[in-house]
Homo-oligomer: A and B are copies of this chain.
Amino acid sequence: MPEERIVALLHGKDRAGIVARVSGWIYARGGNILHADQHRDRFEGIFFQRVEWIPAGPIEEEMRLFKDFAERDVGMEAKLFRSRQRHKIALMVSKAEHCFSDIVLRCRSGELKCDISAVISNHDDLRPLARLFGLPFETVPISKENKPEAESRELEIIKESGAELVVMARYMQILSENFLERAAVPVINIHHSFLPAFAGANPYQQAYERGVKIIGATAHYATKDLDEGPIIAQMVAPVSHRNNVEEMKRRGQELERQALANAVRWHIEGRILTYKNKTVIFD
């Protein structure tokens, strides 16, 4: 078993010498840097860094000291993780099973270091599959009328489950601004088009009607503006006049699975920083 590593994600106002100071600090304390990647947005004057190292001292202590150093001395916002940490995630689903079972199997096989602490759906369709996988499944029917109460119930389930991330695995409801604020954890959604093309409902139908030669899928953080959140991952595939809407959907599902799985993996591995409605992905 490899030694446990610290992963730090930093960002803040760009200035000279940040890389030198961060790597110098770790080096001085006997840490062994395995990966270090940084990015500057020159136009915005923002600096981003992901650094992963094996500490020489006790891991929690080193994390505390580094966070202090990064925030106080270097003026960066800092998020820190332990590499062996497992993440609790809540899945929100509707009727489509392809993204749901894909995420579940990647967790089972160890590819995603996640535990699924809750599955929430507005329909009962996936309950048997969830039972098969031994997962808790809660149906919360949702309608125009009961939306506030339904969302409150969903938030309750998420909180009780201890989830640090909500994954909308083709959950076909719009989350309200209020929900997103109260959730207090990030929410990743998968949209079945190469955004910003074909935002909104029925993107494959829209794509078919427009006659595009490429279809896609987009994983993004959910924000109050529907389909407008920071894009994490996009996948595309060619189509032709021979492909009807059904075939586009089938091909699109491959893209949705992969874009969503990549987004979740990058998120839990501490590879994503967001700013100005964009993402920096240290993959």
CB-CB nearest in chain B for A254? B258
Identify which of B17, B20, B109, B213 contacts A234 (C-beta below 8 A). B213
B240 in contact with A281 (CB, 8 Å): yes
- A280 adjacent to B16 (CB under 8 Å): no
| Complex interface: chain B residues within 8 A of A36 (CB) | 19, 38
Nearest CB of chain B from residue A268's CB, rounded to whole Å: 14
CA distance in complex: A198, B23 (Å): 40
Residues B194 and A196 in contact, CB atoms below 8 Å apart: no
**Residues on B with beta carbons closer than 8 Å to the beta carbon of A144:** none
Q: Does A161 have its Cβ within 8 Å of any Cβ on chain B?
A: no
Whether the pair B194, A210 counts as a contact (CB closer than 8 A) is: no
Binding site for B on A (CB under 8 A): 16-17, 19-20, 23-24, 26-27, 32-34, 36-42, 97-98, 101, 105, 109, 111, 132-133, 194-198, 210-214, 216, 230-234, 236, 240-242, 244, 250, 254, 258, 276-281
Chain B residues positioned under 8 Å from A276 (CB to CB): 211
* 29 interchain pairs, CB-CB under 8 A: A16-B33, A17-B23, A19-B36, A20-B20, A20-B27, A23-B23, A23-B24, A34-B40, A36-B38, A39-B242, A97-B109, A105-B105, A111-B250, A194-B194, A194-B197, A194-B212, A194-B236, A195-B197, A196-B197, A196-B198, A196-B210, A210-B277, A211-B230, A211-B279, A212-B234, A213-B234, A214-B236, A236-B236, A241-B281
Report the separation of the CA atoms of residues A38 and B280 in the bound assembly, to the nearest whole angstrom: 18
Known A23-B19, A213-B234, A231-B212: A39·B105 in contact at CB below 8 Å = no
Oligomer: number of copies: 4
For the complex of A and B, 7 pairs with smallest distance between CB atoms = A211-B278, A20-B23, A197-B197, A17-B27, A213-B234, A20-B27, A20-B24
Across-interface contacts of A32 in B (CB, < 8 A): 16
A240 to B250, CA, bound (A): 21
Neighbouring B residues of A244 by C-beta, 8 Å: 42
- Once bound together, how far apart are the Cα atoms of A280 and B40, in whole Å? 22
**Interfacial chain B residues near A234, Cβ < 8 Å:** 212-214
Within 8 Å CB of A280, what residues of B? Answer: 241
Asked if A231 and B258 make an inter-chain contact with CB atoms under 8 angstroms apart, the answer reads no
Chain B contacts for A16, CB-based, 8 A: 27, 32-33
**Given A194-B214, A211-B279: 14 more A-B contacts, CB < 8 Å:** A17-B27, A19-B19, A19-B33, A98-B109, A101-B109, A132-B133, A194-B194, A194-B212, A195-B197, A196-B210, A211-B231, A213-B281, A214-B236, A241-B281
User: Given the complex, which residues of B lie within 8 Å of A240, measured CB to CB?
Assistant: 281
